[in-house]
Structure 1
Amino acid sequence: MPCKKLSIVCKLAKADMQLLRQLEFAFRTVAASLWDVSRFAQRSGYSDVELEQVARELLCGLGASRVATELRVEWNSRLKTAAGRADYGQKLIWLNPRLFEHPIEIDRTLRHELAHLLAQFRAGRRRILPHGVEWQQACGDLGIRGEKRCHSLPFPAKRLARRYLYRCPNCQRDFPRVHRIKRTVACLACCRAHNGGVFNARFRLRLVK
C-alpha cells in the first residue's frame, strides 16, 4: 500500500513539473513575441493595422466616419515622454513603443488620443482647448470617462528649461514656453469668453521675460 501511494505521489509530482514547464514555455513565448513586436515598432512610421481597425470602428460608431476613413495609427520611437500624440490635420495617431512594456495601457492610450480627433471633428473650425470640455465629452463617449490629461507611466522624464514667459494683457495669465513664439498667438480662454472663440488682437500674448 505505501508503495502504491508513493507511486501516485511521484506521478502527480511529475505531472506538476510538466505543467510548470509548459507554463514557463508559454510565458517565455509571449514575452519573446512582445519583444519582437516592440523591436519592430521601434521603426518610426510603423502602422498598426489592427489598432487602426479598432479606432475606425469606434469613430464610425460615434458618427465620425469621415475621420475614420483617413485615420492612421503608427508606432513612433521618437516619442520619449508622451504615451501618444494626435494630429487632426493629418488624421494621425502616434503611439510610444514603450507601451509594449505596459500592454494593458495600449487601448486606453489609443482612446485618449482618439478623443482629441473626435473632439476637433465635432468642433469643426472652432478652436478648442486640448483637454477641455469637448475632449472630456469625447473621452466619455469612447468609454474612458474621467480620463486624465497626462499619463502616470514610468517613462523617462525630459525637462526643458522654459526660457520665455508670455502673458495675456487681459487676464494676466502667464504662458511659459521653451521656444520663442514665432506667430501671432492670443489667449484662447479670453477669446472664448469675450469674442466667441475668434482671435482678437486685444488678447495677443506679450513677451515679458
Structure 2
Amino acid sequence: MLPMHLGESRSERKTPENMPSLRQLEFAFQTVAASLWHAPRFAQQSAYKASVLEAKARQLLRSLGAKRIATELRVEWNSRLKTAAGRADYRQKLISLNPKLVEHPAEIDRTLRHELAHILAQFRQKSRRQIAPHGPEWQQACQDLGIADEKRCHTLPFPPRRYTPRFIYRCPNCRRDFPRVRKVRCTVACLACCRAHNCGEFDIRFRLKLLTV
C-alpha cells in the first residue's frame, strides 16, 4: 500500500466530531436521539407494526408493476440502527427502520417510501449494474412513490452522535497530534511538515507515531 500524508486535504480523515457515516443504502439522520426503543409500547401501536408497514410497501410495489419483488419484500424494526432512519438491502429484499422514528410518526411513512425507492430503483435496473444510491433512478422511484421532493437526509432535531478517539498519532517533528477513532492501516506522514521540508512529497522523517492504543 502506498504511503500517505496526514494533515489536511484528501489525505486527511475527518476529526471525530465531524466524521461522516457513509453507507450507500442508508437513509442517514443528520442527528441521533438517545435510546427510545421500548418494545411493549411499539407492540401496542398497530400502525407501526412491521407486518402493517410490510403490507403497505408490497402494495406500493404491486401498484408500480413490481409484483415479483413485492412478494419477497420484508420490513423490520431494527434497534441496531443508530445513525440512520432506515436501510434498504436489495439482496435480502429487506427494509430496516430505526425504532427512534416512533417519536416522529409523520416520518415513518416517508422513510418507508425512501427506502422502498432504493429497492424499486435497483429492481428496475435489468442488468446487475449497481446504481448510484441517490442517483436519477432513485429520484424517479421517489417520484413514482409520491415523494418527488425527497432529500437524502432528514433534519430531525436529535443530538449528534459523538465518537471517542481511541488512537492518538503524533508527528515527531512538529509534535502535532492526530486523534483517530480507528487505527490507521497504512503508513502516514504529517502533510504540513512534508510540505515545509520536502516540497510536499512523502518523507519518512515525518511518519506519524502511535501514542495510545
TM-score by length of 2: 0.54
Measured in 2, the distance between the counterparts of 1:103 and 1:152 equals 15
CA offset at residue 47 of structure 1? 6.8
Structure 2 SS opposite 1:126: coil
Shift of 1:109: 0.5
- Match for residue 116 of structure 2? 114
The structure whose Rg is larger is 1
% identity of equivalent residues: 67
Q: Does 1:136 align with 2:139?
A: yes
Is there any run of 5+ residues in structure 2 with no aligned partner, and where?
A: 1-37, 168-181, 186-213
User: What is the alpha-carbon distance in structure 2 between the residues aligned to residue 65 and residue 180 of structure 1?
Assistant: 46
What are the superposed Cα offsets for residues 152-195 of structure 1, whole Å, 9 maximum, x if unpaired?
Answer: 1133423558x9xxxxxxxxxxxxxx7989xxxxxxxxxxxxxx
Query: How has the CA–CA distance of structure 1 residues 68 and 102 changed in structure 2, closer, same or farther, with 3 Å as cutoff?
Result: same
Q: 1:39 to 1:77 in 2, by over 3 A?
A: farther
Structure 1 position 146, deviation (Å):
1.4
Which residue matches 1:57? 59
More strand by share: 2
What residue is the counterpart of 1:70 in the other structure? 72
Give yes or no for contact 1:111–1:139 (8 Å, CA) kept in 2.
yes
Correspondence for 2:156: 153
State the one-letter code of the partner of 2:140.
Answer: Q
Q: Please, what is the CA RMSD of the aligned residues?
A: 3.1
The alignment partner of 1:83 has SS state of strand
> 1:108 and 1:122, CA in 2 relative to 1: closer, same or farther beyond 3 A?
same
- What secondary structure does 1:152 align onto? coil
Separation in 2, partners of 1:47, 1:180: 42
Q: What CA deviation, in whole Å up to 9, does each residue of 1:108-132 have, x standing for no partner?
A: 0000000000000011312211000
Cα deviations by residue, 1:73-129 (Å, 9 ceiling, x for unpaired): 000111112111100000000001111111111100000000000000011312211
Matched residue count? 131
Counterpart of 1:139, as a letter, is C
Name the structure with the higher helix share: 1
Contact 2:113 2:142 in 1 (8 A): yes
- Please give the alpha-carbon distance, in whole angstroms, between the structure 1 residues aligned to 2:101 and 2:151: 17
Q: Is the 8 A contact 1:81 1:155 kept in 2?
A: no
Tell me, in whole angstroms, the C-alpha distance in 2 between the residues paired with 1:76 and 1:108: 17
2:86·2:98 contact (CA, 8 Å) conserved in 1? yes
Structure 2 equivalent of residue 95 of structure 1: 97
Unaligned runs of 5+ in 1: 1-33, 164-177, 182-209
